[in-house]
Structure 1
Amino acid sequence: MLLVPSLPAAAIVNGVPDDGEHPYVGQLLYYVPDAVDSRFDDPGGWFTCTGTLLDETTVLTAGHCVYGIGTDGEPTTLPDGALSSTGGTDVWINFLEAPDYSALPPSSTFVPDGNDERYDAWSAVLDADPDWRSATAYHHPEYDDGNFVLHDLGVLVLDEPAPDYATSDGFGVLPEVGLLDRLARVKGRTYEPVGYGLEESGPLTASGGDTRRKATQKLVNLNGVFGYGKGTSAKFSNNQGTNTTGGTCSGDSGGPVLAGDTSHVIVAVTSFGINPTCTGSDGAYRVDQADDLAWLATFGVTAP
């Protein structure tokens, strides 16, 4: 039903149901007017990601999950196309463990030249459903969609506060500077990604998705990827094994990688997959860097 990007992105593979453990983690549904959906003659694509409430109005996600989000169905990209303006409003987030998409008319209803009508119909349904909360999207000012492994952070500011999704310990928590470097020294330590992505992905198959799940991962290294050094991305194991249950896949992008199975501290956000089968390892963008935490502080959220 949705056009979901395969890369960048990632989803919980071989994990387990979240079972209410992280009510502050929700699923984004958003519209990018410039995106191509091959089923339609005119542009416009719908996508899903994952995000984490840091307080009653602020959601942390990935930069590539908010880049190019439209406003009232119109593009927000700048005329030269080099950067996207911030402040797109065609984004909604749902904190149910299994969001209900049944009220959205099937895309096939609008193929091939009714993409604008699809936007009108879907946005009207989402606006009328209290479980889908509207927001304004912002990407990190240094985010580059052509090189998303750098500064892959985004923020949603909800139109209305959402106080009901905290645990007894509160919402998701930002890390101290350099926390992941210190945790990496602990041999055998595990981490917990949470998201709404696919449970299995392959060249011709895909299954699951749109349900909040969690997994247990081990940190592979902090060496960075694609020629970029330490301080940007972290690589986590995406295989089942001793003390691990799997990893992430398409649709988990922007979801939190927590410091442990009882922790609410976000050390990274799921950013990209190493391969399309969601096995081996995957990449997450580190949140525990001084410049990123400084940008998040402009939204009024800081580490305790």
Structure 2
Amino acid sequence: MPHVRIHAAAVLLAAGALVAGAALPASAINSYNAAPAPERTEVGALVATWDADGDPATPDRVDWVCSGTMVDANTFLTAAHCTTDWPENVRFFVSLEQDVQGALDEAGRAHPGDPAAVAEEVGVEGVAHSHPLYPGPSSDTRDIAVVELDAADTADRWSFTPAALPAAGALDTPGPRGLDATGFVVAGYGTQESHRGPGGHTHPGGGVRMKAPVSFNALNNAWIRLAMTAPQGNGGACYGDSGGPNFAELDGRRTLVATTITGDGPCYATNVVYRLDTAGARAFLSPFVTLP
């Protein structure tokens, strides 16, 4: 189940950004062992405008839908399931606001009935490029995308240091024992783990940049599985964190090693993340960003 908050027919929240209703408390990542991340200014939210009433001439919806990371001055890295299967008139924007839901709410009050103006106030518009072979097989779904922005426009809005990408095979070198001892941190704007209420299970919150520790579980050719279990001191990702970063300390440097893709439905156990040190991921990224 992808950790996005996208669409099914018109646009629903598919597993990564789920319900972030305005009446719900604003937080992100799991509620346990998590903290706000105002210092992670390279981490942003993917905002979209699109048509949902059958009249594609003008957009009538605007919302944040996924998370992601600036990997150079004009390249925002996210997941392909965040940037595909949209109405033809979709427009993508990137916001590096700490509280993107709050920014959207404020812009909505200033520009009632004008989704495009709302999006332009909170973000910088870009062009999405999804992996051409997405969706691939489960062994490697090629669930990776970038949004190319105007570097000058982005610099005018925000100050950030792009995330460092890993060298080829960087996660193979330590081996399982070394990865067991490696500190991992997930970040994003997603909702909280499943809460039981009068109406059944919900995923409250979302729209504020948060971070949480996670720990190594397993390494595959295209994937890392990271444990989100609270008793081990972990937090974790949930709906809306799709495309967001998973950092690891490699050789003393904070490195963006993978992006959040999916996990268990209640968001309690496992974050399944897409490796960025593989030949396939690097081949996709190489036209857009200088790789180590």
Change (3 A) 1:53 1:70: farther
Q: What is the CA distance between 1:142 and its match in structure 2?
A: 1.2
Q: Secondary structure at the match of 1:259?
A: strand
Greater alpha carbon shift after TM alignment, 174-183 vs 142-151: 142-151
Matched, 1:56 2:93: no
Summarize deviations over 1:68-121 as a string: whole Å, max 9, x none. Answer: 345545xxxxxxxxxxxxxxxx11111111121214659xxxxxxxxxxx9x72
Q: Which residue is 2:21 aligned to?
A: none
Q: What is the CA distance between 1:245 and its match in structure 2?
A: 2.9
Q: Which residue is 1:190 aligned to?
A: 183
Greater alpha carbon shift after TM alignment, 134-143 vs 176-185: 176-185
Counterparts of residues 51-130 of structure 1 (less than 5 Å): 51-70=68-87, 72-73=89-90, 90-99=91-100, 100-103=103-106, 105=108, 121-127=114-120, 129=121
Matched, 1:5 2:13: yes
Greater alpha carbon shift after TM alignment, 23-32 vs 276-285: 23-32
Change (3 A) 1:6 1:24: same
Unaligned runs of 5+ in 1: 74-89, 107-117, 223-229
RMSD: 3.1
Q: Name the aligned partner's letter for residue 102 of structure 1.
A: D
Paired with 2:246 and 2:270, the residues of 1 have a C-alpha distance of 14
Matched, 1:247 2:236: yes
Q: What is the CA distance between 1:218 and its match in structure 2?
A: 0.6
Q: Which residue is 2:23 aligned to?
A: none
Q: Which residue is 1:134 aligned to?
A: 125
Change (3 A) 1:70 1:173: farther
Residues 64, 148 of structure 1: 8 Å contact kept: no
Q: What is the CA distance between 1:67 and its match in structure 2?
A: 1.1
Summarize deviations over 1:4-24 as a string: whole Å, max 9, x none. Answer: 524256961124333422101
Change (3 A) 1:214 1:191: same
Paired with 2:260 and 2:166, the residues of 1 have a C-alpha distance of 15
Q: Secondary structure at the match of 2:119?
A: helix
Q: Which residue is 1:28 aligned to?
A: 46
Paired with 1:146 and 1:121, the residues of 2 have a C-alpha distance of 39
Match of 1:209 among 206, 209, 215: 206
Q: What is the CA distance between 1:147 and its match in structure 2?
A: 5.9
Q: Which residue is 1:158 aligned to?
A: 149
Unaligned runs of 5+ in 2: 19-27
Paired with 2:150 and 2:49, the residues of 1 have a C-alpha distance of 17
Change (3 A) 1:172 1:198: same
Greater alpha carbon shift after TM alignment, 233-242 vs 58-67: 233-242
Q: What is the CA distance between 1:26 and its match in structure 2?
A: 0.5
Change (3 A) 1:135 1:145: farther
Q: What is the CA distance between 1:216 and its match in structure 2?
A: 0.5
Pairs aligned (count): 256
Q: Secondary structure at the match of 1:295?
A: helix
Change (3 A) 1:217 1:68: same
Change (3 A) 1:302 1:160: closer
Paired with 1:124 and 1:105, the residues of 2 have a C-alpha distance of 9
Q: Secondary structure at the match of 1:218?
A: strand
Change (3 A) 1:148 1:156: farther
Summarize deviations over 1:225-280 as a string: whole Å, max 9, x none. Answer: xxxxx3112111111133x3311000000001001398431111000122x21011
Residues 171, 277 of structure 2: 8 Å contact kept: yes
Greater alpha carbon shift after TM alignment, 276-285 vs 255-264: 255-264
The TM-score normalised by the length of structure 2 is: 0.76
Q: What is the CA distance between 1:182 and its match in structure 2?
A: 2.5
Q: Secondary structure at the match of 1:249?
A: coil
